[in-house]
A and B are shown apart, each in its own frame.
Chain A
Amino acid sequence: MIWSIAWKNIWRNKKRSLVVIVAVSLGIIAGVFIIGFVEGWSKQRLDDAVYNEVSHIQIHNNEYLKNEETSLTIIDPGRISAILDTLGEVKSYVVRTKIIALAGTSWANTGVIIYGIDPGREKQVTRIHEKIVSGGGRYLDPAGSGDILISDKTAELLKIKQYIVTDSVIEKLRKDAVPAPVLEKLEAMKNIRFRSPADFRESLGSELARKEYDEYGNTISSEALEYRLRNKIQLTLSDREGNPVHAIFRVCGIYKTTNTGFDQMAVFVNAGELAELYGDEEILVHEVAVLLNNIDDAGKVRDRLIPLAEENSVRTWKELAPDAAFMNDFMVIYYFIFIGIIMLALAFGIINTMLMSVLERTKELGMLIAIGMNRRRVFTMIMLETVFLTAVGAAAGIFLGWAVTGFFGRTGIHMAGWGEGFEAIGFAATVYPIVTPEFIVFTAVMVVVTAILSSLWPARKALRLIPVEALRTE
């Protein structure tokens, strides 16, 4: 019956209870959404770091880490491979050549790191093959002689990411519902080739009105974009004797990850061709990238590999991508800090409401104690009222927060304007918030704990009532 009375008591002042319930709900919705947002962002960074950039574990020659000289290959790579083949935790691994080079086209040059890879094996460890942009050709083919896979950023730097408004582009824009007056203005730019996004956008901005540019600029840019696939790229590097060598590769594909810094440097060619260019018959192994079945095993596997790897260095993703590791480790602390602040704010609201409720019912509580309701039951009743009041708001908040976060988890939130900045430091411009069951349980537990703690003061106030005095109040 105490439970029933407690439940009924919270509906005595419906308006006041609803205000608290709505406040609790909004707090929880905000909490779930913001945590989901950061969790999504952090997980994307971690996934991108692991699956595009560093894998779970990397092995290098110790000296190579100090100065990335091409001659400093992994010591006894055959033995390292044999060891990795015996480890059950290892899902797959890949060996790579990494050589610093100069890449050039007829229009521009840029420094790059050439990754000599086995495209087939690489697909088992990284997801670069899934990152080919629309209209950006194909992934590296093991049989494709002279092929090079470069990033969207490198294409931009080498000026083979171009923009041109042709009749077919105008026709596509018409189908995209771009208004005729805008299309008429594009006539002035027709068949002019722009070799940088900045030049194209500047010209577009001068032709279109501000509103038209804001509304249709992105659509026009994406339709006018043209990667010059099969364009020649000259790579210049030092061979094993230290002499400069040049080779011509043709662009087979354009990829784009969320990390512009990585994209700007990494170009991929077949390892055999790179070894030949370097003047070696054997494939040079500068890096072994290992993907595990479970990311949590990284430390354990590293500890097992270190004594076996001799002069080679073994590092986990945490050392290789400390920003992702920091975010990952910080999430738990972040949960506590953020949810703690929300709960603290809620606690004050709940305490205030329950104190008012106890004050208004002084006479009734005095009567209950007088007729024989012991203090433990009075305490339980006030505590249950507080828990029920909070739980109703929390249940609504958790459900709505989960629904809102789930919705944005599917559509993604694109941070227009800041996207480029985030991508420059390795973070995705479009965030897909995530709500994990663990977080829902964590929030629910925090709410119950907050409600119980918040009930202590009002319940104590009720316990201290002297029935004969309480009964005299009006």
Chain B
Amino acid sequence: MKVLELINVNKIYNSAEVKVHAVRDVSLDFEEAEFAAIVGPSGSGKTTLLNMIGGLDMPTSGEITIGGVNLSGLKSSELIDFRLKNIGFVFQSYNLIPVLTAKENVEFIMTLQKWPRDKRDERTIGLLNAVGLGDRINSRPSKLSGGQQQRVAVARALASRPKFVLADEPTANLDSKAASTLLEIMETLNHEEKITFIFSTHDPRVVRMAHRVITLEDGRVVSDERQTQ
């Protein structure tokens, strides 16, 4: 079942002096429970593409459809609500809420979605155990290592069972051990939760573990390969 479809997506940035065609005629679709990496050199359009898929930026032309809904047809407020219910985000620099504990950070999205407390607690504890932080649920981000923070971010992204999770270079700030642990956790959750993961990366370890690798160059898709693990 298709969870996400891109049809002839283009993104052009018009500044005063120069016109940048960041993404060119990209057409892709993603099935449920995919584990896909978008790779390419710096400036190839990975982040721009991810931002558009996540509804944070709009394409100049083309269509992005998530679960049958065309993002271009949504108003700003509808888009925020759509993101809340359908997309999980993992950022390069973790971006947890510093005043909340690990548990509260994971709970946050569910609270916004008005989940009942008992279900919230059950899901939060389950996810934090799954990412190996069951003993740190009451720690604030400042008391956690970078790898641990990114694992909390993954748990947060999955909390409300989104259609897919977007991760922009999730291992960029992690050492190799922390990166490997994170990737293993992400892969396990992808398998167990049946949630699509799409991540941009430079990291060859991430690329090796991906089931599908989409390569961008100058904003174009130059290859789209499926890998067997």
A positions within 8 Å CB-CB of B? 1, 4-5, 8-9, 11-12, 363-364, 367-375, 377, 467-468, 471
If A1-B107, A375-B77 touch, whether A468 touches B97 (CB-CB below 8 Å) is: no
Is B98 close to A, CB under 8 A?
yes
> How far apart are A453's CB and chain B's nearest CB, in angstroms?
24
On whether the beta carbons of B97 and A372 are closer than 8 Å, the reply is no
Binds A, one of B61-69, B83-91, B124-132: B83-91
B112 close to chain A: CB less than 8 A: yes
**A-facing residues in B98-120 (Cβ within 8 Å):** 98-100, 104, 107-109, 111-112
Contact of A467 among B56, B97, B99 (CB under 8 A): B56
Pairs A–B under 8 Å by Cβ, sample size 15: A1-B107, A1-B111, A5-B99, A364-B95, A364-B98, A370-B56, A371-B84, A371-B88, A371-B156, A372-B81, A372-B112, A373-B80, A373-B84, A374-B77, A377-B112
Contacting pair B97 A364 (CB below 8 A):
yes
A372 and B83 form a contact (CB under 8 A): yes
CB distance from B131 to the nearest CB of A (A): 17
Q: Which residues of B contact A11 (CB under 8 A)?
A: 99
By Cβ-Cβ distance, the 10 closest A-B pairs, closest first, are A372-B84, A8-B99, A367-B95, A468-B56, A1-B111, A372-B83, A374-B80, A468-B57, A468-B51, A371-B89
Residue of A with least CB distance to B156: A371
How many Å lie between the Cα of A468 and that of B88 in the bound state? 15
Complex interface: chain A residues within 8 A of B51 (CB): 468
Interchain CA distance A230-B63 in the complex, whole Å: 109
B54, CB-defined interface residue at 8 Å: yes
Q: Which A residues lie within 8 Å of B98 (CB)? A: 12, 364
The answer to whether B85 touches A372 (Cβ under 8 A) is yes
Task: With both chains docked as a complex, state the minimum distance between the C-beta of B89 and any C-beta of chain A, in angstroms.
Answer: 5
Bound-state Cα–Cα, A374 to B81, Å: 7
Q: Which residue of B lies closest to A10 (CB)?
A: B99
Inside 8 A of B100's CB, which chain A residues have their CB? 5, 8
Contact A372 B109 (CB under 8 A): yes
Which residue in chain B gives the minimum CB-CB distance to A468? B56
A/B pair count, beta carbons within 8 Å: 58
CB interface residues, B 30-70, toward A, < 8 Å: 51, 54, 56-57
Interface residues of B (CB under 8 A from A): 51, 54, 56-57, 77, 80-81, 83-85, 88-89, 91, 95, 97-100, 104, 107-109, 111-112, 156
The answer to whether A9 touches B99 (Cβ under 8 A) is yes
Contacts A1-B107, A5-B100 hold; do A370 and B81 have CB atoms under 8 A apart?
no
**CB atoms of A369 and B107 under 8 A apart:** no
**Is B112 a contact of A370 with CB atoms below 8 Å?**
no
**In chain B, what residue has the closest Cβ to A7?**
B99
Rounded to whole angstroms, the CA-CA distance of A371 and B83 in the bound complex is 6
Specify which of B54, B77, B99, B111 is in contact with A370 (CB 8 Å cutoff).
Answer: B54
**What is the bound-complex CA distance between A458 and B97, given in angstroms?**
19
Among A5, A12, A368, A471, chain B packs the most CB atoms within 10 A around the CB of A471
Instruction: Report chain B residues within 8 Å CB of A12.
Output: 98-99
Given contacts A12-B99, A364-B95, A471-B91, contact A369 B111 (CB under 8 A): no
Report how far A371 CA is from B87 CA in the complex, Å: 8
Nearest CB to that of B93 among chain A residues? A363
Question: Which of B54, B99, B108: most chain A CB closer than 10 A?
Answer: B99
Chain B residues in 8 Å Cβ range of A468: 51, 56-57
The residue in chain B whose Cβ has the minimal distance to the Cβ of A372 is B84
Give the CA-CA distance A467 to B98 in the complex, in Å.
18
Q: Which residues of A contact B91 (CB under 8 A)?
A: 367, 471
How far apart sit A363 and B4, CA to CA, in the bound complex (Å)?
Answer: 27
Give the Cβ gap from A126 to chain B, nearest Cβ, in Å: 64
Q: Which residue of B lies closest to A474 (CB)?
A: B93
Identify the interface centre among B51, B80, B109: most chain A CB within 10 Å of its CB. Answer: B80
Whole-angstrom CA separation of A8 from B98 in the bound complex: 10
**Nearest chain B CB to A369 CB, angstrom units:** 6
- Complex Cα gap A371–B85 (Å): 9
Known: A1-B111, A371-B84, A468-B56. A363 touches B95 (CB 8 A): yes
